[in-house]
Amino acid sequence: MTKTVTWADGRVLPALGLGTWKMGEDPRRRQEELAALRAGLDAGLTLIDTAEMYGEGAAESLIAEALAGRKREEVFLVSKVYPHNAGATRLPQALARSLKRLKTDVLDCYLLHWRDSVPLEETAEAMERMRAAGHIRGWGVSNLDVEDMEELADPRCATNQVLLHPGERGVEFDLLPWMQARGMPLMAYSPLGQGPVLRNPALGKIAARHGATAAQVALAWSISHPGVIAIPKSGRAARAAENAKALELELTAQDLAEIDAAFPPPRRKRPLAML
Catalytic amino acids? Answer: 54
**Closest of 126, 140, 212, 222 to residue 176, by C-alpha:** 222
CA–CA separation, 212 and 209 (whole Å): 8
Burial of residue 218, with CB atoms counted within 10 A of its CB: 0-12 exposed, 13-18 middle, 19 or more buried: buried
Would you give the distance in Å from CA 179 to the centre of its chain?
15
Is 223 in contact with 3 (CB distance < 8 Å)? yes
CA–CA separation, 18 and 21 (whole Å): 10
